[in-house]
Amino acid sequence: MGKWMDGYLEKLEMKKLSSLMGGGQERIDLQHSLGKLTARERIDRLVDPDTFDEIGALVTDSRQPLDGKLRPSPAEGVIMGFGKVDGRSAMIFSLDYTVMSGSLGDQAAWKLAELVEMAGERRMPIIGMMDSAGERISIRNGHSGLNGLARFIRNYCIYSGVVPRIMLLLGPCTGVLSSIPALSDFLIINEETGFLWLGGEKKTEDAGNAEFHMEKSGQCDLIAENDEDAIDMAKKLFAFLPQNCWEKPADIETGDDPKRREESLLDVMPDNPKFTYDIHDIIEKIVDNGEFFELKEDFATHLVIGFARFNGKVAGIAANNPDEMSGVFEIDSSDKYDRFIMFLDAFNIPLINLVDSTAYVPGDKWERLGIIRHGAKNLLSYSHLTNQKVTIVLRRAYGGANIVMGCARMNPDFIMGWPTGEFAPTGPEAIVQAVFHKELDKAREKGKYEETYDMFVSLIRDRMNVLNLSKDWTSYYMIQKPVDPRDTRSAIITALEATSEKYEELPDKRRYIKPA
């Protein structure tokens, strides 16, 4: 090697070492004292050994800070590149809090914008790790250049539905940058250090933390105990997702018999329809090895969503939970359902609906909160699904819930039902009160109200049962196939195999428009 190269290699090595040290040992020690991994340690835990190939490592901030003091900004505070996660390629970035508190400089924003564009063009998933004080302040323009930040946000938006995007919130994320976690397909928050906040006064003690964004805002999908747990969650979630919208998630061998009968399902549902049960008890008995990866577990708990496998094939499950608010639909559960089913459709993942709902909640309070508008979004979204869709009616499919859960003629591939399934515009109790009020008044006078009421309810419930309604193939309320509860698993697997090559085409148009 010629001597002329020596000087360049020395400079390159020095820059590499500078980048590896981030904001320096003191800042690294501070990061560890806060219970957080450094940006590079996070990437090392996420990717397979020796697979991360960094890009943009030589970039630094060329602008003078507002106070006039120049500070080193190795890699511009953003470690990014591509690597393998359990053998699969992904574009990865991690904001470095040791470099000026992870604040986003102008060049950092352009780096991220370029990374997202590369991921979209190369059809690779994006996994990001946020730990940032927000946009960086400087003399020129007053803050990080909005051009770079805007391009980062635009690229992140236009590749929505093209490649999956998983975001880990492992520290603070404020200001305009807080929109990125909200725009992501999935958000995992470290319960100890994660903080998401647009700006302004912090009103309550828990505002912005993981619990707040899980239970209140509904933006959080998974809460992690620490950085390590968050990264492990991301890897587990990643296994359910395809590389891009043109592929399907990979099948794996789970070892669970596809024809397995589950005798215990006969004991899950109470004999008295007035009593509830936990839908998790059904889900865990029908999926491969009882493994259900639930999302937004503590938000709108009357609707359960998540991923599972059936004979090794990935599917998304959306299920009403009678144990919480009788499995009703309201504004939060509607939003939770809407976002999930649209993601499934975008990435070729089948939708399994398990139905037991008393419909959308009525009343002045809910009307003022826009229950009609939220329900209309569900109708519009389900109408546009072209992925595999299988509906199992377990018990009640009343009112609008009947339609948005794919029970009615909304073009699901299969509508199946347990013998306990019921279809109706409303519950039998309301029908009895409306239709037989005179008979009930007379029965009250004779001291036989309860007996008469129960008799009419039983009569109406029997008329609403799927075994009666399905006698008429052209009925609005019907199932295509009755299912013995013990055979629910094999029925779903058979339906997914039968529709594995389905093709469903919608009218040609630029886009659809959701209700306001």
Q: Can you tell me whether residue 512 is helix, strand or coil?
A: coil
Q: What's the rounded mean pLDDT across residues 208-236? A: 96
- Whether 243 is covered by a domain: the verdict is no
Are 320 and 229 found together in one domain? Answer: no
Count the domains in the chain: 3
For residue 68, pLDDT beyond 70: no
Domain that holds residue 454: 427-464
What pLDDT is stored for residue 318 in this prediction?
98
For residue 412, pLDDT beyond 90: yes
Q: What is the CA radius of gyration of the chain?
A: 27
* pLDDT tens sequence across 114-126: 999 999 999 999 9
What pLDDT is stored for residue 334 in this prediction?
96
Q: Closest Cα partner for 55 from 28, 81, 83?
A: 81
Residue 454 CA from chain centroid, whole number: 42
Q: Kindly give the residue spans of alpha helices, DSSP state H, lying in 427-513.
A: 428-435, 437-445, 449-464, 466-469, 488-498
What pLDDT is stored for residue 63 in this prediction?
65
- Phi and psi at 248, nearest 5°, equal -110, 155
Are 440 and 486 found together in one domain? Answer: no
Are 37 and 159 found together in one domain? Answer: yes
For residue 3, pLDDT beyond 80: no
- Whether 251 is covered by a domain: the verdict is no
Give the C-alpha separation, 252 to 243, whole Å. 15
**Packing angle of the helix pair 437-445, 428-435 (nearest 10 deg):** 80
For residue 2, pLDDT beyond 60: no
- Whether 161 is covered by a domain: the verdict is yes
Q: What's the rounded mean pLDDT across residues 10-22? A: 76
Q: What's the rounded mean pLDDT across residues 320-328? A: 94
What pLDDT is stored for residue 4 in this prediction?
63
Give the C-alpha separation, 77 to 347, whole Å. 32
Q: Is the distance from CB of 419 to CB of 447 less than 8 angstroms?
A: no
Are 279 and 193 found together in one domain? Answer: no
Contact partners, residue 125, CB within 8 Å, separation at least 6: 88, 90, 91, 119, 163, 164, 165, 166, 238, 241, 243, 244
Q: Which helix (H) or strand (E) holds 430?
A: helix 428-435
Are 442 and 390 found together in one domain? Answer: no
Domain with 112 in it: what CATH number? Answer: 3.90.226.10
Q: Can you tell me whether residue 442 is helix, strand or coil?
A: helix
* pLDDT tens sequence across 135-170: 886 545 444 467 889 999 999 999 999 999 999 999
Are 396 and 469 found together in one domain? Answer: yes
What percent of the chain is helix, strand and coil (3-state, nearest 5)? 40, 20, 40
Are 410 and 290 found together in one domain? Answer: yes
Distances (CA, A) of 77 to 22, 26, 93, 132: 7, 16, 10, 9
User: 207, exposed or middle or buried, with CB in 10 Å at 0-12, 13-18, 19+?
Assistant: middle
- Whether 305 is covered by a domain: the verdict is yes
What pLDDT is stored for residue 471 in this prediction?
77
pLDDT band with cut points at 50, 70 and 90 for residue 408: confident
Are 49 and 155 found together in one domain? Answer: yes
For residue 203, pLDDT beyond 70: no
pTM, entire model = 0.93
Of the chain, the end-to-end C-alpha distance in Å amounts to 67
- Whether 128 is covered by a domain: the verdict is yes
Q: Which helix (H) or strand (E) holds 55?
A: strand 53-55
Are 210 and 323 found together in one domain? Answer: no
Are 372 and 352 found together in one domain? Answer: yes
Are 220 and 293 found together in one domain? Answer: no
The amino acid present at 420, given as its one-letter code, is T
The percent of residues in the chain predicted with pLDDT above 90, rounded, is 68
* pLDDT tens sequence across 448-457: 888 888 888 8
Domain boundary among 238, 273, 291: 238
Mean pLDDT (the chain) is: 91
Are 177 and 291 found together in one domain? Answer: no
* pLDDT tens sequence across 426-447: 878 888 888 888 888 888 888 8
**Packing angle of the helix pair 146-158, 106-122 (nearest 10 deg):** 20
- Whether 505 is covered by a domain: the verdict is no
Domain boundary among 238, 253, 272: 238
* pLDDT tens sequence across 237-276: 999 999 999 999 999 999 999 999 999 999 999 988 888 9
Bridge partner residues of 104 (DSSP): 135
Buried/exposed 254-291: b ≥16 CB within 10 Å, e otherwise: bebebeeebeebeeebeeebeebbebbebbebbbbeee
- Whether 408 is covered by a domain: the verdict is yes
